[in-house]
Structure 1
Amino acid sequence: MAMKKTSILIVEDDKSIAELERDYLEASGYRTDIADNGVTGLEKALGGQFDLVVLDVMLPKLSGFEVCKRIREEADIPVLMVTASRDDIDVIRGLDLGADDYMTKPFKPAELVARIKAHLNRYERLKGRKSEANEMEFRELRIDPESRRVYVKEEEVALTVKEFDLLYFLASHPNRVFNKDHLFERIWGIDAMGDTQTVTVHVRKLREKIERDPPNPSFIETVWGAGYRFRG
């Protein structure tokens, strides 16, 4: 029986860019589909047929930011955002909304393929990993590593893939300080593209979701000049 091909959705309104991305991905063995606007892209992304979404920021009908937000509310698949803007605020906003990674145009198609392979491999490892650890409880916070669910006061909190990975890693090493470089390498991978600002954004989002008073966190503490520490 033939194995099912990994499927990539390209949401891009520039036909030439979309077709170039498609050609490189299909040459690498992926099945692809293209949506040329945000509304169609969202419908296809939520259809459950794709393993990863390459999502442009500037789209007709519905922006890439809104598409990313809606995907994250309903699906747990990697999202790689693409932007023509070199403004850090766009990058931060995309990560804020749950994107796993971002690339700035223009980029080499081969780099896009490499990023996609890295995210798919990482995601498959996470899905296939069977944790032997028991649930972890820290005051009102409960982390279930097997189901990858987090609860605060028994209310489930929705986390993105990377938010959970970061929280679980820190909580698995309570009271140890990790600098941003170490966390970026550990959660995003040594070959990941980006910078430690990604870690800062994810820590802030985690605090907003799990802390009673985010500006004065009781779980994820900042150790000035050193990094972050999970208080067990």
Structure 2
Amino acid sequence: MKKNKIIVIADENGLSWESLVLLEQQSEIYQAKNIQDAFSHLTVFSYHLVLIAVKQEPEIVCQIVEAIRKMVITPVLVLLPGHSEMRKKIIQAGADVVLEQSYTVEEIRLQAYALIRRYTEWKSERKEEVPVIVGKLEILPLQRMVKWDHEIVPVVKREFDFLYLLASTPGRVYTYGQIYQLVWQEYPHGDITNIIYCMVHRLKWKLKVVDKNAADIICSVKEVGYSLKVYKEL
């Protein structure tokens, strides 16, 4: 049976070892290395729960929750290291549940279970697919299909994942390292710049077959990486 997926955003000692072990019994855990790493993963991968346990000022936690809520509709569970008057504001920022210092390991597990259960039930009731559209580019995530001006572009897995990554946040520049880690789903090694360049070259050729101007939507940032042009720039 496929496990649910939880992304954990935590400082050192922000989440106890006992809590992680208990959560791993019912879910697959990804521990983000930092906030930016978490945002990158949320842009590409689907999770059933975001668990935040950072020892930061409550105002910073609010900002993190607000940023996540703009990106995904995944449930957000926040653990606060102490009692705070910001609990209400954190919930208003988009958190679904905020637990304060008196929480127990079992309560974390139960809250995570309840949030994931409601989210998966809600997702199972959704039959429609929400496409990602940037200008004439249309990406259908469930069908893993790419269209340009309603015409299908025959892409393979990594080409699709690369386009979906860029189209999710048009204008944002992804470095070669970020692209390799998120598309190939492994840590960068070897000549990743050339590997990515060859993949993009093939993808651009496929786009040009459909429309000679279609490949221009992929923007190369010299010695950095790639981004997707927003429609008004085309």
TM-score for the superposition, normalised by structure 2? 0.48
**More helix by proportion, 1 or 2?**
2
Structure 1 or 2, whichever has the larger Rg, is 2
